Structures are given as C-alpha cells and as structure tokens.
Chain A
C-alpha cells in the first residue's frame, strides 16, 4: 500500500542551527502538506505545496515540492526552543480527493 516515509525519525540540534527533514512517497502526489504537532495538541498546518518544484516559506520555515513529485523537504533556519515538536508531512491517499495519508513524523528536540 501507499506509504510516506519521513527522515530522520528524530533529531537533537543546538539552538540556532538549521534543520532539514524530508518525506518520501511510494507514489506521485499533487499536494504536500507539512504540519507541526506540540505535545497534547492537534497538528497545526505550517505549509501547503501544490506544484512540483514549488518553494514556499513561512517565517523561518521553507518547504519544497520535489521535482519527481514523490518527495518533499522542510527546512527550519536558526532553530529556537519552541521549534520542539513532531513534524508531519501529508499527501493525498488518492489523487483528486481530500483523503490524506500522514508520514511517520520527525521528532525535533532543540537544545538551548
């Protein structure tokens, strides 16, 4: 079945460092969504991508829709302690629908 693999699974970084994570699909997507989840809360939408090659920023966050349409990347620049959380990618399970599959998540821990 369709899978979304996120890498890395977890990472510790120092405050101020840049962070990169990625998400790979077994099939082609026409939309990529990136979410962040804080402990005890629901996922919050960070960035939405709709075209292959698209590069979109939201503050210190930048996400890219991979050219192959099977991957996406999220970068966080100059990380701060509140960046701690789990980052999820998501894409449509079936093209043309809003039935989404979520990745396994990247758990980020920032050391002050």
Chain B
C-alpha cells in the first residue's frame, strides 16, 4: 500500500520564480496537511484540508503561498514569487484520524 507521495523530492529555483509542490495522500484519508520544516522554526503546519476543503490556513506565511486540493487524491502548494527565505523542506501528511502519516518531503532551495 503506497504511502503519501510527494513530488518533486528536490527543487532548486531562483528568486522570483513560481514553485509548485505536489502531494498524493493515502487513499481513503480525508485529511491532508502541508507542513514546512526549518532548523530555526522546526515543523510548522501551514494549512490543512478536510474532504478537499481548506479548514485552517492560519499557518500560511503570506499571500505568496497558496494551496489547493481539487480532488481527494491530489493537492498542490504553490509559492509565487519564491524568495530565499522560503528554502525549507515541505511535507505533506494525510490522515483519517488523529494519526498523521507523512510523505518523504520536498527539499526546496531558492537561490
């Protein structure tokens, strides 16, 4: 049974470019979460969805960040325009209960 799938695993881009991170949750899970992990701030929740509807986006740092979940098997996190301070590892997680299962992450480097 496949776990949470994220792509790409690594992304290097230049400041000002648009970045799109992708996530496929575990089949049957109705919650999807986007996290960001940095050395300074640890693991932070950015936004989460329930049944494809955004429930809480209070962790989204600013308007440059947006997330969508067009269907139960796909979500995107977009950064436009990207800045060097966005460099981090971005994780997607899914769940059907309190137990969240994480993907392998996307390591984003913005030059």
Contacts and interface: CB of A to CB of B under 8 A. Distances in A.
Interface of A: 31, 33, 35, 40-45, 48, 50, 88, 92-93, 97-105
Contacts of B99: 33, 45, 48
B91 interface: yes
Given A31-B98, A42-B91, A98 B48 contact: yes
Contact of B48 (A99, A101, A102, A105): A99
Contacts of B31: 98
A98 B101 CA distance: 12
Contact of B98 (A33, A88, A104): A33
Contacts of A33: 98-100
Interface residues of B, number: 22
A99 B56 contact: yes
A98 B42 contact: no
Main secondary structure of the interface of B (DSSP, over half): strand
A104 B42 contact: yes
B103 A42 contact: yes
Interface string B91-111: 101010011111111000000
B43 interface: yes
Contact of A98 (B43, B100, B102): B100
**A98, A99, A105 — most chain B CB neighbours (10 Å):** A98
21 contacts: A33-B98, A33-B99, A40-B105, A42-B93, A42-B102, A42-B103, A42-B104, A42-B105, A43-B43, A45-B101, A48-B98, A93-B45, A97-B55, A97-B56, A98-B50, A98-B95, A98-B100, A99-B56, A102-B44, A104-B42, A105-B42
